[in-house]
Structure 1
């Protein structure tokens, strides 16, 4: 290197060089690259594309090794010839890849594509690629043949940022789904079936009529939400059983003693809105519902007034990345930082809080 720069890696920032078991960190004064060195670089997609098109020798070893592995496994071409495409994909919130490394999920074996880099929350990672455990919202820089990259459109574990156009669903299937949903609602409103029985029956009918297959239906279920909501139900039940909900309600009422119900409702809405950006909307709704009922009972008003406040406030989850799944999903591709969500989301939360604080008392006659 010259003054810590590597001429073959033009417009790229070298973050680390792994030489055997010994990492070399910057500054790279008088460091000479040798065969077998693993280089971790930070670069734009355009820079990498130009390096690949120019036939830069720095990539030859990696590409030959990765694509050779594909031949042994029965995937991929024998050499990195042909039309290779660079694409970006985001790890989906419900992906099976979360918590695992690229090597553990055998990404190349299953897709025929190789992962060149990972970006997490707009920050480059200074770690060996195969040692990084994936998180929801990670952006993967993927290299593969055109048809292999296009096939990622049907992969539910990642969301392709390009080649993501999909065919329109069959209208007949849409009509079937709508009919099944209508029948489910009618049976529940008519008191024919309990809602849980009707929902399970509708799900079975969706599969039986071919709208979805079993695998598609199973993939649509985020098991973590069930675990989280189940755990929060336990917490909510404990609050009720131990009198914790009443204690919190009494403290809230005492804190705002002398104020009108409208003021208490406004403060309660604001508290839930702040909490939902730290937890998730599902967990917040389950946690605050018993507190809402107890608070309304203490004030002598209809409990539904405070329960509705929970429903609206729990969905004000756009002031932090962890508030809602889609927030995290767009964080990497959009190159957003935590403060961007706070800056854009906080005014929206305050606006909705003020709107509810003025509208709800008028609507409920408080």
Structure 2
């Protein structure tokens, strides 16, 4: 090995360890790898940022915007709600559900497809008095399987298409992935529907029913404003300032027979008003000491905290939410957004201590009290997804057929002309903006910038693997390890390595690393390049053994009440099935 090969190998291993450690977000780690590789001269300074203009990066960004428009167009919501009328048998119901999610995921972002079906899945589970955990993981896995069907189904496909263009001067077409992807998806969906879900832990519906409300109600009480209190005839703002330091929410004001739910800071307080407050006992006691209010020993009924204008809703924190890494008090959730945080559930466990100072993570389930007015806009701004089926337009003027038409035209042009996918889908985004389906704020908010930074930074690092001869070195190591094994064994090994990497790092990073290695194996042994690139695509997209490998798996962890080991219980056999199905189909179609 040369010095450059030692250096790039060390950088790659360090990057993988930091990805697995997960202390720093993956885009920060990728940029660190790029900077270090450039400082050592492995990446030329004048091409350091060329990855951000790579066609694969542009295509991924465009697809994210289009997926956002489809998600809120109302088209798939109609299909999702149609499911409610069918199939009382669990396996048939899961089959229809996972099948529809897989189809949707083939043409839009995996997380977007999952987000559309999350509320419907939970509603169906409640309808048959089952725990949501019996259905959510199959739906998540189906969203990953469906991404293997088309070029735009998942970022690894777009990245690998770029490698084929680099080596053979022609990218994969829109539906070149379908023979292998469709076979894997169909068999995978059948497994999830009729066998896989039975491996999940059996939990009763009562374990989840009203769990968050019960946890929240334990920390609610009423405080009375006594005569001659200094806050009489003053605005609620004065007491809210006291609450900030003690992390106490004021959920409603009871004035005689009148209830003022989610009161604003401008509400004027009167003698004998009852404030329904929620918070830790010591925080409430501190508020009493500071304000001179009197505690009323009464049991709070959470049904009294909702009305036609005010609701209590469970939401899940999305992967790009502004709340991630911040606390409710830190973002001033109540004062700035008119939202009261009542409870947090993380991995099926309620967080009760220092609720408002707890740093929120992606996948957390939050119980919120807020006004029905502009509820959708609030959730979208905060980056949260509702877990209840609601008619939330999310602030969008729904131009369903226009959105579908623009997207369909882009697919047809990409499929049947020589125009690149980066060009056609960027043009489609422009059409969505011109027709005002996507406004400028949503144009930028719908792009998952950490993914874009990850790709832009890792593509030059992947190129450094090739220019230093390290990919050829690794490829020769795999060939030597296989010891003259037939090609189907090599394809299987490549899929398995890609799978295992994707279980601990982002699947796009896996594609960037494994794509050149697969290409080098094919070139060394004289096999068709496409077969080995397709193996990498399948392996990178199928991450079923952990919740950290893909955002879809993480999103269902809390509402499903899953443990880390639950993913392997259902996913391990699915991994085996994917390898057994993908290898012969790749050999039949691409060899």
Which residue does 2:498 correspond to in 1? 272
Contact 1:149 1:163 in 2 (8 A): no
Q: Which moved more, 1:263-272 or 1:111-120?
A: 111-120
The residue matched to 1:323 in structure 2 has which SS?
A: coil
Deviation at 1:339, TM superposition (A): 0.7
Structure 1 residues 47 and 99, CA gap change in structure 2 (3 angstroms): closer
| Corresponding residue to 2:265 among 51, 64, 72 | 72
Structure 1 residues 207 and 110, CA gap change in structure 2 (3 angstroms): same
Which residue does 2:405 correspond to in 1? 179
| Corresponding residue to 1:254 among 480, 484, 503 | 480
Whole-Å separation in 1 of the counterparts to 2:322 and 2:362: 10
Structure with the higher helix share, 1 or 2:
2
Deviations 1:261-307 (A, max 9, x none): 11111111111111111112212112211111001111111111100
| Corresponding residue to 2:469 among 233, 243, 251 | 243
Contact 2:347 2:561 in 1 (8 A): yes
| Corresponding residue to 2:519 among 281, 293, 306 | 293
The residue matched to 2:585 in structure 1 has which SS?
A: helix
Structure 1 residues 171 and 192, CA gap change in structure 2 (3 angstroms): farther
Whole-Å separation in 2 of the counterparts to 1:136 and 1:283: 20
RMSD, aligned CA:
3.6
Deviation at 1:79, TM superposition (A): 6.8
May I ask how many residue pairs the two structures share in their alignment? 319
Which residue does 1:99 correspond to in 2? 325
Whole-Å separation in 1 of the counterparts to 2:326 and 2:396: 35
| Corresponding residue to 2:544 among 300, 307, 318 | 318
| Corresponding residue to 1:343 among 569, 572, 587 | 569
Which residue does 1:45 correspond to in 2? 212
Specify every segment of 5 or more residues in structure 2 that has no aligned partner in the other structure, as ranges: 1-209, 226-242, 254-259, 277-303
Deviation at 1:150, TM superposition (A): 6.9
Structure 1 residues 153 and 79, CA gap change in structure 2 (3 angstroms): farther
Give the TM-score taking structure 1 as reference length: 0.75
| Corresponding residue to 2:341 among 93, 110, 115 | 115
Deviations 1:113-134 (A, max 9, x none): 2112222222344652233222
Whole-Å separation in 2 of the counterparts to 1:228 and 1:95: 18
Whole-Å separation in 2 of the counterparts to 1:308 and 1:159: 33
Whole-Å separation in 2 of the counterparts to 1:234 and 1:79: 62
| Corresponding residue to 1:87 among 277, 298, 313 | 313
Contact 2:251 2:340 in 1 (8 A): no
Give the TM-score taking structure 2 as reference length: 0.48
Greater relative CO (CA pairs within 8 A, separation 6+): 2
User: For 1:151-170, what aligned pairs fall within 5 Å after superposition?
Assistant: 152=378, 154-155=380-381, 157-162=383-388, 164-166=390-392
Deviations 1:328-356 (A, max 9, x none): 11111111110111111111111111222
Deviation at 1:143, TM superposition (A): 2.8
Deviation at 1:73, TM superposition (A): 6.6
